[in-house]
């Protein structure tokens, strides 16, 4: 297993007990963190300190809520992208998503890029090999960038917008894709150029899951099964980490008023726990760790431009 300095241990911030917590985001206007419980079709919100936790039941398994320039959310869910007003609860279908795909799929990871476009992925409901795809939603138009993926994860972008990163979790590697001036993968002869292997995490003790980029351009990536979130430098080498008292971190977020609190969603999916047993543990909770002493800060979350 890769050894690196431990910056701290994250502690439970919200006892959310998510079977599959995912997709955290920070809303600077309301000073709230949001995240999803995918398998339970729930949207969670809480204040920066974990207080005022509330849960909104959704109609579909939803993996991400992208904050738009108009102040509402675009929900990324199985078979459908929808507009959702968190104030009124109004929901409106926006665009179908893999409605006729076989085997059946659901949405997985998603992230807004530096151009205000949404990258989103799908995977098989039972994680079938090669059933997933990677897409980009640009100004309301959905384009498939890649297919044949199993568990697409770790979507994030370099601060200068030159690179997109992603992982097919089953490979244990993080890929890097060079982008053009409009945020599309570079292409030649009508085809996208292949991404390159940027980080090899097969000896990390866990599987690469959700990821973000901090203000220094370093990646923070959840290592599912390893109970830690690793910080990778510009060459993809692990240089530090934060530990958790649970084994399945799913996605990090740098939020808080100064963007220096590391929030981490977790899960108890796949564990031999009943619902009552899961609720007596910290598995599935939202965790937090103050990184201000280390001088680490995040980047402001780009808003999704739909028109």
- Tokens 């894709």 belong to 177
pLDDT confidence tier of residue 100, bands split at 50, 70 and 90: confident
Domain assignment of residue 303, yes or no: no
pLDDT over 90 at 277, yes or no? no
Can you give the residue range of the structural domain that contains 274? 6-294
What pLDDT is stored for residue 274 in this prediction?
67
pTM (2 d.p.): 0.96
Domain assignment of residue 127, yes or no: yes
Which residues are documented as binding site?
Answer: 22, 106, 108, 153, 209
What pLDDT is stored for residue 47 in this prediction?
98
Which residues are documented as binding site for substrate?
Answer: 106, 108
Domain assignment of residue 126, yes or no: yes
21 touches 246 (CB < 8 A)? no
Which residues are documented as binding site for a divalent metal cation?
Answer: 22, 153, 209
Can you give the CATH number for the domain in which 138 is found? Answer: 2.120.10.30
pLDDT digits (tens, 9 = 90+) for 154-163: 999 999 999 9
Q: How far apart are CA 104 and CA 141, in angstroms?
A: 22
pLDDT digits (tens, 9 = 90+) for 207-239: 999 999 999 999 999 999 999 999 999 999 999
Domain assignment of residue 245, yes or no: yes
Q: Residue 4: how many CB atoms within 10 A of its CB?
A: 16
Domain assignment of residue 305, yes or no: no
Q: How many residues does the chain have?
A: 307
Three-state DSSP class for residue 93: strand
Q: How far apart are CA 72 and CA 183, in angstroms?
A: 23
pLDDT confidence tier of residue 278, bands split at 50, 70 and 90: low
Domain assignment of residue 250, yes or no: yes
pLDDT confidence tier of residue 101, bands split at 50, 70 and 90: confident
For the chain, how many structural domains are there in total?
1
- Sheet strands side by side (includes 207-213): 6-9, 238-243, 228-232, 219-224, 207-213
302 touches 112 (CB < 8 A)? yes
- Of the listed 72, 109, 113, 209, which one is catalytic? 209
pLDDT over 70 at 276, yes or no? no
Bridge partner list, 106: 123
Domain assignment of residue 177, yes or no: yes
- To the query of whether residue 182 is one of the catalytic residues in this protein, the response is no
């Amino acid at each position: 297993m890769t050894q690196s300095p431990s910056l701290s241990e994250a502690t439970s911030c919200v006892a959310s007990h998510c079977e599959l917590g995912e997709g955290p985001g920070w809303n600077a206007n309301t000073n709230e963190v949001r995240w999803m419980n995918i398998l339970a079709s729930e949207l969670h919100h809480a204040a920066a300190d974990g207080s005022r936790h509330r849960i909104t039941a959704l109609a579909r398994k939803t993996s991400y809520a992208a904050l738009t320039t108009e102040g509402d959310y675009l929900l990324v869910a199985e078979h459908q992208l929808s507009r959702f007003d968190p104030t009124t609860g109004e929901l409106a279908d926006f665009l179908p998503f893999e409605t006729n795909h076989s085997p059946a799929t659901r949405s997985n990871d998603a992230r807004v890029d530096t151009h205000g476009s949404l990258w989103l992925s799908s995977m098989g409901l039972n994680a079938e090999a090669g059933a997933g795809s990677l897409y980009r939603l640009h100004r309301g138009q959905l384009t498939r960038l890649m297919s044949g993926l199993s568990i697409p994860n770790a979507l994030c972008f370099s601060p200068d917008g030159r690179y997109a990163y992603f992982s097919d979790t089953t490979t244990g590697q993080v890929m890097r894709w060079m982008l053009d001036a409009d945020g599309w993968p570079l292409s030649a002869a009508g085809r996208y150029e292949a991404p390159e292997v940027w980080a090899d995490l097969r000896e990390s003790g866990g599987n690469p899951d959700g990821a973000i980029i901090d203000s220094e351009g370093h990646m923070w990536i959840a290592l599912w099964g390893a109970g830690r979130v690793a910080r990778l430098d510009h060459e993809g080498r692990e240089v530090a980490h934060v530990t958790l008292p649970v084994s399945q971190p799913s996605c990090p977020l740098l939020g808080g008023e100064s963007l220096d609190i590391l929030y981490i969603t977790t899960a108890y999916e796949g564990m031999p726990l009943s619902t009552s047993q899961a609720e007596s543990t910290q598995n599935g909770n939202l965790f937090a760790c103050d990184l201000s002493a280390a001088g680490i800060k995040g980047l402001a979350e780009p808003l999704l431009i739909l028109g």
